[in-house]
Amino acid sequence: MKRKVLSTILAASMVATMAVGCGGGNSAQTDAPAADAGTEAPAAADQEGGKIGVAMPTQSSERWIKDGDNMKEKLEALGYEVDLQYAEDDVQMQVSQIENMIASGSQCLVIAAVDAGALTTVEAQAKEAGIPIIAYDRLLMDTDAVSYYASFDNEGVGTAIGEYVKTAKDLDAAREAGESYTIEFFMGSPDDNNAVLLHKGVMGVLQEYLDDGTLVCKTGRTSFEDTCILRWSQETAQQWCENYLTGFYADEDLDIACTAFDGFAYGVKAALQGAGYTADNWPLITGQDAELMACKNILDGTQTASIFKNTSLLADKCVTMVEAVMKGAEPEINDTTTYDNNVVVVPSYLCTPISVDKDNLQEVVVEEAKYYTAEELGL
Ligand code: GAL
């Protein structure tokens, strides 16, 4: 299989903000039954302040540190006391942390799970104690104890990644010309519902090109089961990529590394450098989260694209949900049908992810969102 001439010009649509989802743009107040997922009014309703437990999965990636900081700052500004805990990707540690939050008087819990289905017992304890739970970014599965869900359009993230690859490589032109690109997939954790949806979104765009041979996956690993990486491990992504490069790609370059997370993109970058790839044959590498390091890599060309998810906006939405369950008000939600956790369909607010690459990074992340300063990015 011959390598193709790279299409270096991205379509204008690629640099534009990609409106992917947000409940089809409908952000109207919901008339769905609020907080009917099994929680009673908390004991502290109508009181000022109160204690909120915020359980975050790990400090190993920058985004969760930002998420935790944002939540703490915004809740404290409203007069709440915040118990912020990180579980360092240890399921049992997260269970213990949440048990402690319940025991020490938290009146509402905000949880970004390490393993979305592993918290059912402690969630039932919270429900029993009349403590409402809000799922933060990752849906809490198999429980009726969750009141609301604040996240991004997770299938939309996958669609945006797939569309980026399609446009950047001009797959339709390649198909016309009978050319092909090699591609490998590095997908998210099997215990994270976001990862399943992301893969669905990616394949919704790219499957047809795999089917007709415009994209060639030499390992044959395209299904979610074959490409998911437990706990979003950067090390595993690097290991996989090293194995691929010395095996399947010993005699032919890898053209596209379709990854679901900036951490994977870092692992892939290290593997490529170890295998002697240079700017001349560097593949297209996608990611997710637009972490500071990813943005720097995008600017220096060692990562091609990422998906910007403004965690400050996410925290804002989540805080309105906390306020609602604490005060008996109704938060704004924009999706009442998508997020079925196997027990209840959780009323959700989905923020819009934005595809970024070197052409729009400064505009989207620095100028519009003021997420990083130009200085931080070395601009
Ligand atoms: C997912 C989230 C991604 C990424 C990943 C690894 O749940 O949707 O944005 O942060 O976790 O942390």
Question: Which of 58, 232, 233 for a ligand 1 pocket mutation test, highest count of atoms within 8 Å of Cβ?
Answer: 232
Average pLDDT for residues 263-280, to the nearest whole number?
98
The kind and range of the H/E element at 319 are helix 311-327
- Expressed in angstroms and rounded, the spacing between residue 305 Cα and the centre of ligand 1 is 16
Instruction: Indicate whether 30 pLDDT > 50.
Output: no
Average pLDDT for residues 277-288, to the nearest whole number?
98
Q: How far apart are CA 29 and CA 372, in angstroms?
A: 31
How much is the pLDDT for 49? 85
Q: Whose CA is nearest to atom 4 of ligand 1?
A: 261
Which ligand 1 atom is nearest residue 232's CA?
Answer: 6
How much is the pLDDT for 339? 97
Question: Which of 20, 137, 197 for a ligand 1 pocket mutation test, highest count of atoms within 8 Å of Cβ?
Answer: 137
Model confidence, pTM: 0.88
Which ligand 1 atom is nearest residue 61's CA?
Answer: 12
Which token pair is 80? 């709440």
- Expressed in angstroms and rounded, the spacing between residue 261 Cα and the centre of ligand 1 is 7
To the nearest 10°, the Cα dihedral for 185, 139, 125, 60? 50
**pLDDT level of residue 10 (50, 70, 90 thresholds):** very low
Which token pair is 346? 């959780």
Q: What are the pLDDT digits (tens) for 219-229? A: 999 999 999 99
Q: How far apart are CA 183 and CA 198, in angstroms?
A: 17
Instruction: Indicate whether 362 pLDDT > 60.
Output: yes
How much is the pLDDT for 16? 33
Lowest mean pLDDT among 21-30, 60-69, 76-85: 21-30
- Expressed in angstroms and rounded, the spacing between residue 111 Cα and the centre of ligand 1 is 13
- Residue 227's alpha-carbon distances to 123, 189, 269, in angstroms, are 30, 9, 18
Query: Any residues with Cβ below 6 Å from ligand 1, and which?
Result: 61, 63, 137-138, 188, 192, 194, 232, 261, 288-289, 309
In sequence order, the 6+-apart residues with CB closer than 8 A to the CB of 178 are none
Q: What are the pLDDT digits (tens) for 180-220? A: 999 999 999 999 999 999 999 999 999 999 999 999 999 99
- Expressed in angstroms and rounded, the spacing between residue 372 Cα and the centre of ligand 1 is 19
The H helix count followed by the E strand count for the chain is 13, 12
Which ligand 1 atom is nearest residue 58's CA?
Answer: 12
Q: What is the 3-state secondary structure (H, E, C) of 166-197?
A: HHHCCHHHHHHHCCCEEEEEEECCCCCHHHHH
Which ligand 1 atom is nearest residue 261's CA?
Answer: 4
Work out the percent of the chain whose per-residue pLDDT is above 90: 86
Question: Which of 235, 261, 314 for a ligand 1 pocket mutation test, highest count of atoms within 8 Å of Cβ?
Answer: 261
Residue 15 near residue 167 (C-beta atoms within 8 A): no
Instruction: Indicate whether 256 pLDDT > 50.
Output: yes
Q: What's the start-to-end Cα distance of the chain, in Å? A: 39
Q: Please identify which residue in the block is written with the tokens 């008339």.
A: 31
- Residue 108's alpha-carbon distances to 15, 82, 343, 351, in angstroms, are 40, 10, 21, 22
In sequence order, the 6+-apart residues with CB closer than 8 A to the CB of 285 are 256, 257, 259, 265, 268, 269, 302, 303, 304, 305
In 220-310, where does DSSP find H-type helix?
Answer: 224-227, 234-246, 262-274, 292-300
Pick from 136, 158, 184: which is nearest to 284 by CA?
A: 184
Q: What are the pLDDT digits (tens) for 127-159? A: 999 999 999 999 999 999 999 999 999 999 999
Q: Please identify which residue in the block is written with the tokens 């920058």.
A: 62
Lowest mean pLDDT among 33-37, 116-120, 128-132: 33-37
- Expressed in angstroms and rounded, the spacing between residue 1 Cα and the centre of ligand 1 is 34
Average pLDDT, the chain: 90
Q: How far apart are CA 156 and CA 152, in angstroms?
A: 8
Buried b / exposed e over 158-189, threshold 16 CB at 10 Å, is: bbbbbbbbbbbbbbeebbeeebbbbbbbbbbb
Question: Which of 202, 231, 288, 313 for a ligand 1 pocket mutation test, highest count of atoms within 8 Å of Cβ?
Answer: 288
Instruction: Indicate whether 55 pLDDT > 50.
Output: yes
Lowest mean pLDDT among 23-27, 107-111, 231-235, 349-353: 23-27
- Expressed in angstroms and rounded, the spacing between residue 265 Cα and the centre of ligand 1 is 13
Which token pair is 249? 């790609």
- Expressed in angstroms and rounded, the spacing between residue 270 Cα and the centre of ligand 1 is 20
Pick from 160, 148, 175: which is nearest to 322 by CA?
A: 148
- Expressed in angstroms and rounded, the spacing between residue 192 Cα and the centre of ligand 1 is 8
Instruction: Indicate whether 47 pLDDT > 80.
Output: no
Residue 165 near residue 143 (C-beta atoms within 8 A): no
Instruction: Indicate whether 97 pLDDT > 50.
Output: yes
**pLDDT level of residue 238 (50, 70, 90 thresholds):** very high
Q: Whose CA is nearest to atom 1 of ligand 1?
A: 194
